Amino acid sequence: MRFVDSLVSMLLTTFLGVMALSCAPDDPIDEVEESPRAAWTTPPPSVIEASSRVVAFADVHGDYEAARAVLQLAELIDGENQWIGGTTIAVQTGDQLDRGDGERAILDLFESLSEQAWQAGGGFYPLLGNHETMNVELDFRYVTTGGWAEFADIEYDPTDSTVMSYQESHRGRVAAFKPGGPYARMLAGHNLAMQVGDTVFVHGGILTTHAETGLAVINSEVQAWMRGEADAPNAWIHSDTAPVWTRDYSNDPDSSDCAELSATLSLLGASRMVVGHTVQNTANPACNDQVWLMDVGMAAHYGGSPAALEITEAGVNILNSEDR
């Protein structure tokens, strides 16, 4: 009886403690929700099963309204930025940053949707593009005036020589994106490349050498660097043939490019690849539908219109705003 009494007492104490925390007026969870959520989340797997509906879209480059427009086009959010995609799995193939003034709003929206989609039994996965890796490298050549201002309130260490080497109005962004910074840690919660069912998603392209290394290895090395735990993995972020930089499949691929693509897909056990990075007049397939080119320049910087890719049991379909 003494053991039972102790067990009941322990359970009652735990329950009351949880209730007290949930009712506390100064709940610290409310404060946590205002900072980058992915700073403490585990990155998603590199390979996951597909759902009955998979959606993809590409570069949004700091255009918050374009990002919302393509999400609504694909029936993933409502007018209040709430996830309505149910069990849909959606992948954004990178380049959320640069060329526009709405970058922080985009990053925060995408983090919110990642959580909402997961709770609904679906998934929303923003990937890393070359402009995300550039910002973590502190390559800010494509940042707008508004892009600097967006991150001006990020606190920084006045003894940090890297941050202090920039003018005062730029230091918040530097602190945000330098390896280990709050928004670099947010990005470290994302994959650089991902396979959903038989479809591979990446910003630039996966080549055979990347497939032989493995998507999980590439992702983990890039994520460790962004967290400030490792040196920059140059092969994955710098080279012209890096997954975030190559245009082999998106810039008028020839027969040798298509042969490379076919070999890569075979290594990965996949049927197709979806890429962004190179602006197209319209979303279109190449290499006998083995690669889908989805960067339609929808951001204001380019003046294009939103487009998304939908993969279902019925096949692959391009969603255009003029069709709705």
Annotation says 190 is catalytic: no
3 state SS of 170: helix
Question: Tokens 């940090």, residue?
Answer: 160
Tokens standing for residue 129: 């593009």
Q: Which residues contact 222 (CB under 8 A, 6 or more apart)?
A: 128, 133, 192, 233, 236, 237
C-beta contacts of 311-318 below 8 A and 24+ residues apart: 311/50, 311/53, 311/54, 311/55, 311/56, 311/197, 311/199, 312/52, 312/53, 312/54, 313/52, 316/272, 316/285, 316/289, 316/292, 318/282, 318/283, 318/284
Q: Which of 61, 131, 190, 277 is catalytic?
A: 131
Task: List the catalytic residues.
Answer: 131
